[in-house]
């Protein structure tokens, strides 16, 4: 019966495995270092990923939606004079057929002065359709009072900072005074239905929300400045944007994703990404030093063995490949062990929750979680593999540069 022979590369892997397995204590220490670093990377990266995901969803469901449809150039020039960029009063039927659509809600931007008694402050207003707006604004926290009851209600919602500056409470009567689209002056008297808070204190300090019918009455216009689109999932944003760009003529409509409007979120992502990169560098340095020390000690202890291998014909590049392979195996094994342990710890920590203080502008804290995605786990294994491979380069080169005669002298 013919004997089965392993391919040469599998023989090298088996030999490398035997070499790291026979040095159990040193190998165990190296694996603990690698897996511990990977666990730290996953837990820190998973927490940041959870924070960013929560911030994204809060931003979408409090202000921006997934997409905003405007007249071309509205975000560049229309903010100064929004009434030259008005959309039609009704949304085209083609938008309602958008795949994954939850709702489309019209908004009308306006501004003016808000008065209660002798107190007067400036405001930035949003005219909204309460029925279609509710799914979009579910992350807005009503801290006092109630939401707008409907499109026909003569009510207003005030940001918590704006209400504090005015000294207004739910049930109070306030007056909105504004310059109309044609340059005149108009005013409406409304009842404060409630006071709300979002994640942005600056936003809460100046903004109010009124039914869009009231906003149109105040500004004497018939239309909207923005149509806000909410989808079933945030991952559908890019596909929905492309679909809307095909459905709506570019000369009349501009489709903008939420990421292009969320400046605070984008800067936070950039900041946290740099923090994760710093964690990677620190963990990489720890792993490199640990693995390099382990393999350097292995080279010293196996000097005679290396000399024997070279004496029987193994070339220098074979010695080099053997030690590089040992480092790579340490990285793969330690990385996979770290991913498994990190995932388990992440699940346990998420089940318990991480008590967090209230964010700026909010009154209540929350429980944080760890979100370990497949891409984050892949990054962790890649980090372990590359750092251990880099750490093994110098010991491997040192072993391959040995002189056969000098190495054999140390043979026991």
What are the distances in angstroms from CA 394 to CA 34, 189, 253, 289?
18, 78, 60, 11
The pLDDT value recorded for residue 6 is 42
Give percent of the chain above pLDDT 70.
85
Give the Cα separation of 407 and 409 in Å (integer). Answer: 5
User: Which phi and psi (to 5°) does residue 317 adopt?
Assistant: -70, -25
DSSP symbol at 135: T
Give the Cα separation of 369 and 360 in Å (integer). Answer: 19
pTM of the full structure: 0.75
Q: Region 335-347: what's the mean pLDDT?
A: 92
Q: Between 358 and 174, whose confidence is greater?
A: 174
Q: Between 58 and 299, whose confidence is greater?
A: 58
Q: Region 303-327: what's the mean pLDDT?
A: 71
The pLDDT value recorded for residue 4 is 42
Is pLDDT at 324 greater than 60 in this prediction? yes
How does pLDDT run across 388-397, given as a tens digit for each residue?
Answer: 888 888 777 7
What are the distances in angstroms from CA 291 to CA 10, 287, 365, 377?
23, 6, 42, 21
How does pLDDT run across 281-296, given as a tens digit for each residue?
Answer: 888 888 888 777 777 7
């Amino acid at each position: 019966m013919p004997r089965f022979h392993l391919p040469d590369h599998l023989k090298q892997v088996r030999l490398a495995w035997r070499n790291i397995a026979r040095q159990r204590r040193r190998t165990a220490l190296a694996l603990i270092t690698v897996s511990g670093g990977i666990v730290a990377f996953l837990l820190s990266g998973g927490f940041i990923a959870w924070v960013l995901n929560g911030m994204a969803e809060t931003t979408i469901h409090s202000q921006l939606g997934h997409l905003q449809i405007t007249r071309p150039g509205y975000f560049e020039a229309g903010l100064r004079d929004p009434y030259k960029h008005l959309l039609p009063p009704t949304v085209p039927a083609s938008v309602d057929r958008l795949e994954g659509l939850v709702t489309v809600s019209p908004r009308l931007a306006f501004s003016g002065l808000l008065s209660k008694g002798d107190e007067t402050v400036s405001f930035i207003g949003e005219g909204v359709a309460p029925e279609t707006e509710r799914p979009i604004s579910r992350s807005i926290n009503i801290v006092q009072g109630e939401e707008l009851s409907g499109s026909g209600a003569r009510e207003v919602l005030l940001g918590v900072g704006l209400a504090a500056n005015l000294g207004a409470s739910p049930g109070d009567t306030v007056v909105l005074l504004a310059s109309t689209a044609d340059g005149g002056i108009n005013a409406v008297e409304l009842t404060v239905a409630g006071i709300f808070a979002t994640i942005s204190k600056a936003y809460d300090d100046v903004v109010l929300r009124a039914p869009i019918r009231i906003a149109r009455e105040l500004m004497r216009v018939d239309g909207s400045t923005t149509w806000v689109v909410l989808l079933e999932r945030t991952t559908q944003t890019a596909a929905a944007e492309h679909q809307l760009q095909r459905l709506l003529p570019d000369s009349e409509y501009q489709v903008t994703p939420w990421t292009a409007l969320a400046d605070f979120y984008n800067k936070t992502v950039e900041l946290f990404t740099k923090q994760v990169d710093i964690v990677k560098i620190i963990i990489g340095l720890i792993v490199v030093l640990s693995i390099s020390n382990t393999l350097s000690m292995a080279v010293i202890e196996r000097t005679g063995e290396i000399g024997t291998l070279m004496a029987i014909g193994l070339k220098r590049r074979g010695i080099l490949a053997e030690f590089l392979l040992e480092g790579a195996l340490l990285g793969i094994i330690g990385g996979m062990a770290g991913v498994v342990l990190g995932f388990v710890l992440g699940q346990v920590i998420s089940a318990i929750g991480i008590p967090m203080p209230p964010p700026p502008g909010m009154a209540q804290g929350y429980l944080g979680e760890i979100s370990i995605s497949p891409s984050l786990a892949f990054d962790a294994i890649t980090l372990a593999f590359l750092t251990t491979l880099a750490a093994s380069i110098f010991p491997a080169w040192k072993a391959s540069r040995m002189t056969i005669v000098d190495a054999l002298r140390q043979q026991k």
